[in-house]
Structure 1
Amino acid sequence: MNTLAFDTCFGACSVAVTWATPEGPRGAFRFERLERGHAERLMPLIADAMSEAPFDFSALQRLVVTTGPGTFTGQRVGIAAARALSLATGAPVASLPSLAVMAHTAAHQLKGETAGKTLAAAVDARRGEIYVQFFSGPDLAALDEPLLTTPEDAARRLAGRDVVAVGSGSQLLADGARAKGLSISVRLATLEPDVRFVPEAAIPTDFGVPRPLYLRPPDAKPQDGASLARVS
């Protein structure tokens, strides 16, 4: 299936264009770390990857986008691009949690180190909290939904498990575990999600309008008395 997938949720942009051939699956991939500027870089990275594919945008059969958790701007950039491309090409959109993409990226880099263990994808969400999701098994089945919680609460959920934590929140999670007398192995503390490592079997088969997974309310609020009445 001709697929375009991309992620802009955290500190990187990643793009994967994949297609089938008689010799097996093929793809073109782009990955760029950046703290900001996702809106400016995403479409050039998509165009660059698509230039290597043996088809154009009109032949896309599926779009895949990460919907969060993540930064508010990053989530909106990716989802807006997916909606626009879907309208332009007619390709349906599948949604992926950003932490699931991070887990698959970690599993690829760590090879067999996560076998038989719980993999915790954790990202520093500031304010003493982390975004975190737990995975297990060779197919990295999600053990729960993505969470916004304190490292201590996340560690409590992992009691009795052999855990490898990855991502910018991994050390915070390990510190929270230590406070509760638990031990967590920390790896790949600078890891960012990369959609090239998401296997075909992990892509959802249900399609729909992608919606952001906001786990924290926005900081920006209308000034008192400045909000406009809704038009019915």
Structure 2
Amino acid sequence: MNILAFDTCFDACSVCVAQQRAGAVVELASTIEFFETGHAERLVPMIGEAMHAAGMAFESLDRITVTVGPGTFTGTRIGIAAARGLALATQTPVAGASSLAVMAEVAVRRLGMGVPGELLAVAVDARRGEVYVQLFGTGGLDARSPPLLLAVEDAAGLGGSALLVLVGSGAAAVAAAAQSMGRAARAELAALLPDACALAAMAPAIAPSEGALGPLYLRPPDAKPQAGKAIARVAQ
């Protein structure tokens, strides 16, 4: 299986071209750039560069995989639009994954997990005293909850009394709230972001989308159409 994976959900843009060989996913080429804006300008060139470096033609792809959120509204839309366009042009199945699941996969690779009674929680600062949060067991493919938008205090109670290992930009706040409740919790990897290489490794286990791939938004957009601003029509 030839795989193209990419992520644009937060403050980075990453692309990975990989190949599944005898049950293992082998990375052929990858790139990542860090920025708050500029995903629209860089994503397609980065995909082209990675495909060229891997020596792979777009017609050879068997799976396109992209993060679908939660994340920034603009970044998430850019990634999904690119995935849908490439899938349509190449007739390649496309699959989506939670950005938090990809972060969990990265975290497990860096930290090592699997202690009995231990849960991994990816917590990303969503501002307003809230976090995007999702619970996992042994990695990104072992979700123990759906992606959620919760107040920090509510996130601290997820998973009952299990030891909580938190990663992401919201990890410290949730860990502090959990500890104030008497729960064992620790925060790690505050700068963690999704990485397309982890997404590529997950790709063979993610079912392709049966319909049009859509974004996972956990909060409505801040920008809303103005009400009552229409100019009255001149009477004839």
CA distance in 2, matches of 1:139, 1:127: 26
CA distance in 2, matches of 1:124, 1:20: 34
Q: Is the 8 A contact 1:7 1:193 kept in 2?
A: yes
CA RMSD of aligned residues (A): 2.0
TM-score, normalized by length of structure 1? 0.90
**Among candidates 217, 222, 228, match of residue 220 of structure 2:** 217
Local SS of the residue matching 2:178 = helix
Instruction: Count matched residues.
Output: 226
Amino acid at match of 1:65: V
> Relative to 1, partners in 2 of residues 1:220 and 1:206: Cα closer, same or farther, differing over 3 Å?
same
2:136 maps to 135
CA distance in 2, matches of 1:103, 1:202: 17
| Cα distance, 1:203 vs structure 2 | 3.6
Tell me which structure has the larger Cα radius of gyration. Answer: 2
Write out aligned runs for 1:64-213 (5 A).
64-110=65-111, 112-116=112-116, 117-137=118-138, 140-198=141-199, 199-200=201-202, 203-207=205-209, 208-213=211-216
Unaligned runs of 5+ residues in structure 1 are 228-232
| Cα distance, 1:192 vs structure 2 | 0.5
Local SS of the residue matching 1:120 = strand
Q: Is the 8 A contact 2:165 2:185 kept in 1?
A: yes
| Cα distance, 1:92 vs structure 2 | 1.4
Amino acid at match of 2:9: C
Local SS of the residue matching 1:52 = helix
Q: Is the 8 A contact 1:165 1:185 kept in 2?
A: yes
2:233 maps to none
| Cα distance, 1:53 vs structure 2 | 2.1
Percent identity (aligned): 51
CA distance in 1, matches of 2:93, 2:123: 29
CA offsets per residue over residues 108-163 of structure 1, 9 Å max, x none? Answer: 111x2453321101100001100000001367511110000011101112331111
Q: Is the 8 A contact 2:7 2:14 kept in 1?
A: yes
> Relative to 1, partners in 2 of residues 1:173 and 1:49: Cα closer, same or farther, differing over 3 Å?
same
> Relative to 1, partners in 2 of residues 1:175 and 1:25: Cα closer, same or farther, differing over 3 Å?
closer
> Relative to 1, partners in 2 of residues 1:188 and 1:114: Cα closer, same or farther, differing over 3 Å?
farther
CA distance in 2, matches of 1:200, 1:139: 8
> Relative to 1, partners in 2 of residues 1:222 and 1:115: Cα closer, same or farther, differing over 3 Å?
same
CA distance in 2, matches of 1:11, 1:126: 15
CA distance in 1, matches of 2:204, 2:20: 17
> Relative to 1, partners in 2 of residues 1:44 and 1:93: Cα closer, same or farther, differing over 3 Å?
same
Unaligned runs of 5+ residues in structure 2 are 231-236
| Cα distance, 1:33 vs structure 2 | 1.6
1:230 maps to none
| Cα distance, 1:62 vs structure 2 | 1.1
| Cα distance, 1:20 vs structure 2 | 4.2
TM-score, normalized by length of structure 2? 0.88
> Relative to 1, partners in 2 of residues 1:86 and 1:165: Cα closer, same or farther, differing over 3 Å?
same
CA offsets per residue over residues 177-227 of structure 1, 9 Å max, x none? Answer: 123222311110011010202434664123232100110011111111358
Local SS of the residue matching 2:76 = helix
Q: Mean Cα displacement is larger for which, 70-79 or 193-202?
A: 193-202
1:4 maps to 4
